[in-house]
Structure 1
């Protein structure tokens, strides 16, 4: 697949310095990328709960949760490209960045041409993983629901009967695979009285569902927790 065959990457620039964030967003937007600027880790998590991203450009020195911490959590999603920016160089910080899952490590002041090329190359390299395995690939694992959502299909052509709560959770997550769904949204579909619902019950339901799937299928259910948001179905 050539670069010209790929859709424009969806990029988030997470930088707390307003002027620098605006400059990076402007430079990448002028090169045809779909870019959003965000000032904190919390803003990024909220954005990802409603919009998928291909690449995240992260400042390491964010207020609150650092860029290193954010990168570690994003890596749980597997298909997101991560570029870390820092005003402090050094081999130790670079090693830490790669250890938590960063794909690239760039130092400030930002060379916009270098960053733009890095985004394009990273997007092209990650495109096969983002698009999933080919349907002709016998190793591909397709998870789906049938029987109005009461039956889960997974690896090895096996099936699993679901409880009403399990069916409800999976149906909501499978509406947008790869996009985190907030805990509030999941609780809202589980009950018509969310104010009386103990949030810990959601974690218990997910834990039991994973256990049932692990005992039935040859591969674990790709249902992952996303800290500060909720859960994501990320095959």
Structure 2
């Protein structure tokens, strides 16, 4: 059996597929190319790749929906391929669980660097899970309701609730970030610490996911997201959770 990493390219542009297949093969990757969601599912059922390069603009089911499908079912690295002006698509792609993105037109060398980085992070996470306990902070007491800005975090239920009692939609990574913050009140957490706590992976210089997710969390929990008081930015340090008196209750 080959020890080469397996990469599945999902893109309906045959010229892009041909170029990437040739380039990545030269760098000792096993590469398969498909043009849409149905073919992607068939390939995954045949053999799960290590990484998927997923174009957002596909005929039929788009890349965002496919990324959500993949993240809910498989532990596979996902790199979104977007147009240069598709900022919202990039943000949404990261929100549904993509590990990174690259914009068209791209330099194959940049894509290769991103692919290597994402695969290293996946391998580091797998190693940590098999070798011993995680370095993530201990979660708050299971039944706790912790005040986070204008909301309450219900730890056991994995829910974020507004002051009026309405559930605030929250992704799994946003939950992990809030647990990391509430376990470390008034302590500066760097981006790499937050990534390790939330996804057990190492931060890379071009990794934008933490900043994007912090911005999304602030819009949910801060009274004024433009002047955050609960999750504060620490210049050249990272982020710090400042509790409102660290009010905690149990149910």
- TM-score normalised by the shorter chain: which range applies? 0.5 to 0.7
| Match in the other structure for 2:99 | 103
Secondary structure in structure 2 of the residue aligned to 1:116: helix
Q: With CA pairs under 8 Å and 6+ residues apart, which has the higher RCO, 1 or 2?
A: 1
The 1:62–1:131 alpha-carbon spacing in structure 2 relative to 1, beyond 3 Å, is: farther
| Match in the other structure for 2:7 | 11
Deviations 1:130-176 (A, max 9, x none): 467226559xxxxxxxxxxxxxxxxxxxxxxxxxxxxxxxxxxxxxx
1:59 matched to 2:55:
yes
Does the CA contact (< 8 Å) of 2:54 and 2:81 recur in 1?
Answer: yes
C-alpha distance in structure 2 between counterparts of 1:15 and 1:40, whole Å: 7
C-alpha distance in structure 1 between counterparts of 2:131 and 2:90, whole Å: 37
Deviation at 1:78, TM superposition (A): 4.7
Deviates more, 1:129-138 or 1:28-37: 129-138
Corresponding residue to 1:120 among 113, 116, 120: 116
Does the CA contact (< 8 Å) of 2:82 and 2:90 recur in 1?
Answer: no
C-alpha distance in structure 1 between counterparts of 2:132 and 2:93, whole Å: 36
C-alpha distance in structure 1 between counterparts of 2:50 and 2:100, whole Å: 14
Secondary structure in structure 2 of the residue aligned to 1:133: helix
The 1:11–1:130 alpha-carbon spacing in structure 2 relative to 1, beyond 3 Å, is: farther
| Match in the other structure for 1:23 | 19
5+ residue gaps, structure 1, are 1-6, 139-235
TM-score, length of structure 1 as denominator length = 0.52
Deviation at 1:99, TM superposition (A): 1.1
C-alpha distance in structure 2 between counterparts of 1:70 and 1:15, whole Å: 12
Moved over 4 A (4+): 135-138
The 1:136–1:30 alpha-carbon spacing in structure 2 relative to 1, beyond 3 Å, is: same
Deviation at 1:89, TM superposition (A): 2.3
5+ residue gaps, structure 2, are 135-251
Aligned length: 133
C-alpha distance in structure 2 between counterparts of 1:73 and 1:46, whole Å: 14
Deviations 1:191-234 (A, max 9, x none): xxxxxxxxxxxxxxxxxxxxxxxxxxxxxxxxxxxxxxxxxxxx
Deviation at 1:86, TM superposition (A): 1.5
C-alpha distance in structure 1 between counterparts of 2:53 and 2:129, whole Å: 26
Does the CA contact (< 8 Å) of 1:87 and 1:107 recur in 2?
Answer: yes
Structure (1 or 2) with the greater helix fraction: 1
Deviation at 1:77, TM superposition (A): 3.1
Secondary structure in structure 2 of the residue aligned to 1:113: helix
The 1:120–1:135 alpha-carbon spacing in structure 2 relative to 1, beyond 3 Å, is: closer
